[in-house]
Amino acid sequence: MKISVYYTPESTPDDIAPDCAVVIDVLRATTTIATALNNGAKSVKAFSDLDLLFNESEKLSPSDRLRLGERGGKKVDFCDLGNSPLDCSSESVADKQLFISTTNGTRALQRVQSASLILTGAMINYSAVVEYLQQHQPETVWLVGSGWEGGYSLEDTVCAGAIAKELIDYNQPDLIGNDEVLASISLYQQWENKLVDLFRLSSHGQRLLRLHLVEDLEYCAQTNIISTLPIQKQKGLLVSN
Ligand code: MLT
């Protein structure tokens, strides 16, 4: 298994595709997707375009669906919810089909559509990602951070580092796909016991704090509180593995 880390969707090569891509958006999209599926949502369909989300979700009756939309950290008007994992309780999501569009996470999912296998990872479920990869051994794996509008993000990189640390073997440098792998592991080892502090300092963390979303930040900084693994079943449609 050759592991590579890409800090942003834009930095992924566009002429090759991995066997498996793991999309990471710790604050907050992939945390929300895992939480919703863990709390009984039937599926989560991801869109980078809000109009497409609206038109496709219109095909279901309001009692069978939920629209989750976020831009700039804020809820999109026509959506039922924003992108807070704390809004995805079993009362609100159980047996519903979710339609989600966010600033970066769903764009990252779009970017890796040519991968044969797509998973999503966050701090709350990263061991589930590690276990799946160790069991299935895809030959090439990309850990793809969603970043912020093409820019680097600390929280996604630290999560990529947590996953990579469990997977790579320093005695096999040829399976370390790029330098970002060791850089992300180093960042994780530096901050693994104080993730909330790191998230508070991160640029998107500060954006969420300005929106008074400290509980979201604290929730997203927890590690392995669930074993739910979102996996893509068909284009953009994520279900619990
Ligand atoms: C994103 O996709 O950029 C994030 O999930 C945004 C957020 O929820 O704050």
Question: What pLDDT digit, counting tens, does each position of 4-35 carry?
Answer: 999 999 999 999 999 999 999 999 999 999 99
Whole-number Å distance between alpha carbons of 209 and 218:
11
User: Which segments of 46-111 does DSSP mark as H helices, in order?
Assistant: 50-57, 90-93, 105-111
Cα torsion 232, 234, 238, 241 to 10°: value is: -50
Average pLDDT value for the chain: 97
The token pair that represents 240 in the structure block: 């619990």
pLDDT at 168 over 90: yes
- What SS3 state is found at 119? strand
Whole-number Å distance between alpha carbons of 89 and 110:
26
Distance (Å) from CA 174 to ligand 1 centroid: 34
Whole-number Å distance between alpha carbons of 113 and 193:
34
pLDDT at 171 over 90: no
pLDDT at 197 over 90: yes
Distance (Å) from CA 31 to ligand 1 centroid: 10
Distance (Å) from CA 104 to ligand 1 centroid: 6
Measured from the CA of 82, which atom of ligand 1 is nearest? 8
pLDDT band, residue 211 (cuts 50/70/90): very high
pLDDT band, residue 120 (cuts 50/70/90): very high
CB under 6 Å to ligand 1: residues?
25, 27-29, 70, 73, 83, 102-105, 146, 208
Once rounded to an integer, what is the mean pLDDT over residues 98-119?
A: 97
pLDDT at position 143, please?
98
Once rounded to an integer, what is the mean pLDDT over residues 187-205?
A: 98
Instruction: Pick from 7, 8, 24, 25 the residue to mutate for probing ligand 1's pocket: most ligand atoms within 8 Å of its CB.
Output: 25
Distance (Å) from CA 6 to ligand 1 centroid: 17
Once rounded to an integer, what is the mean pLDDT over residues 216-229?
A: 98
pLDDT at position 100, please?
98
Element (H, E) at 74: strand 74-75
Whole-number Å distance between alpha carbons of 68 and 141:
28
Tokens 């440098």 belong to which residue?
Answer: 173
Query: Atom 9 (ligand 1): residue with closest C-alpha?
Result: 73
Distance (Å) from CA 190 to ligand 1 centroid: 24
Distance (Å) from CA 102 to ligand 1 centroid: 5
Instruction: Pick from 24, 103, 211, 217 the residue to mutate for probing ligand 1's pocket: most ligand atoms within 8 Å of its CB.
Output: 103
Determine the distance from the C-alpha atom of residue 167 to the mean position of all C-alpha atoms in its chain, rounded to a whole number: 18
Half-sphere exposure (CA, 13 Å, Cβ side) for 114?
9
Distance (Å) from CA 107 to ligand 1 centroid: 10
pLDDT at position 219, please?
98
Query: Which percentage of the chain shows pLDDT scores above 70?
Result: 100
Distance (Å) from CA 29 to ligand 1 centroid: 5
Instruction: Pick from 10, 23, 26, 27 the residue to mutate for probing ligand 1's pocket: most ligand atoms within 8 Å of its CB.
Output: 27
pLDDT band, residue 225 (cuts 50/70/90): very high
pLDDT at position 38, please?
98
In order of 47, 211, 215, 217, the CA distances from 195 in angstroms are: 29, 20, 14, 10
